[in-house]
A and B are shown apart, each in its own frame.
Chain A
Amino acid sequence: MAEDRFLIIVPAYNESGNIARTVREIQSLLMPLTVLVVDDGSGDQTATEAEQAGAAVVSLPFNIGIGGAVQTGFQYAMEQGFSLAVQIDGDGQHDVSFLKKLIDPIVKNEADMTIGSRFLPPFIGYRSSLIRRVGIHFFAHLISFLTDYKVTDPTSGFRAFNKRMMNIFAREYPHDFPEPEAIMVARRYGARVLEVPVQMRKREAGHSSIRYLATLYYMIKVTFAILFNMVKAKGNM
């Protein structure tokens, strides 16, 4: 039943006030899609609001981190037999009008995973604060240097995946600060990763999960995780 439909995975943690709009925005696209909101143990009305907006909702009993939430989406996709999945953040940051462009290379079988990048021409939209941009560029250069991928926006959580990629990530996906590390996991499995230019918006309500005090820890943890993936055994799947 799900073969020709695709799954939109929306990880959400305390996104009450944003989530319903995000869900409706996705559903307004004229595509055969199913919206799955993974509520990562929110303390607010995120799950109820998402359900009322018409999404399928998985409620995790406690907070396990955005990576664990997204991975739950992959597990759901594999269980239900979806052949394509898109990850979109629940905070309304990602412009869903770029969804078609994002899945195009997957549909044409030119890539196993696509990443929506706000640093690729021709779009000049919201590109995050200066301090965050420095971090993003650092990881972009690190990953591009270590691998043969050309990555400009490794922290972007606007991504599309084919079945092979979902199968891998359903079993192996980093749980906290997952985005840059997931590219390295994909590389270990020899996956084709492609960036697609997109525009992003400023967050509408709430705050990003990465705050200033945690930035240093984030930088160190992710750098280690990236390097660590270089010495991990190559995967087969």
Chain B
Amino acid sequence: MGIKILTGFLSVAIFVLVLELARRGKLTFKYAIGWIAISLLGIIFIIFDQLLAAVSAWFGFTLPSNFIFFTLFCFFMFLSLFLTIFLCQQNNRNDTMAQEIGLLKLEIARLKKQIQNKFSAR
């Protein structure tokens, strides 16, 4: 029973924390939705633990705990893959922005000089 309370507490904590972070605008809905879904699933499985046993048996796991470990492992593997993809995308965007900023700075400096020359010629 103790483990049920512990995991239930964790699931509710994640659920509430993510909702609060989304409310404060620290997490966008796009990234909050996955966490909300996972913590909800955790809460559902704790309340209806026969459901967890049935699902893990259906997948062929002898122990429901193995099913949970396996699912979590897959979840975090894909999560880190997606985070890597996201990181690369952000990196590329950063580089592109750096290049455009560099080119714009040169252009602005040139325009400034042109304007100065125009005024000093008068």
Contact = CB atoms under 8 A, between A and B. Distances in A.
B103 interface: yes
A38 B98 CA distance: 12
Interface residues of A, number: 18
Interface in A60-107: 60-62, 64-65, 68, 71-72, 75-76, 79
B105 interface: yes
A191 interface: no
Contacts of B95: 64-65, 68, 175
Interface stretch (A51-59, A126-134, A136-144): A51-59
B101 interface: yes
B98 A68 contact: yes
A89 B43 CA distance: 60
B111 to A, nearest CB: 13
14 contacts: A58-B103, A58-B105, A58-B106, A59-B102, A59-B105, A59-B106, A60-B99, A64-B94, A68-B98, A71-B99, A72-B99, A75-B99, A75-B103, A76-B106
Interface of A: 38, 41, 56-62, 64-65, 68, 71-72, 75-76, 79, 175
The 6 closest A-B pairs by CB, nearest first: A58-B102, A60-B102, A72-B99, A64-B95, A60-B98, A58-B106
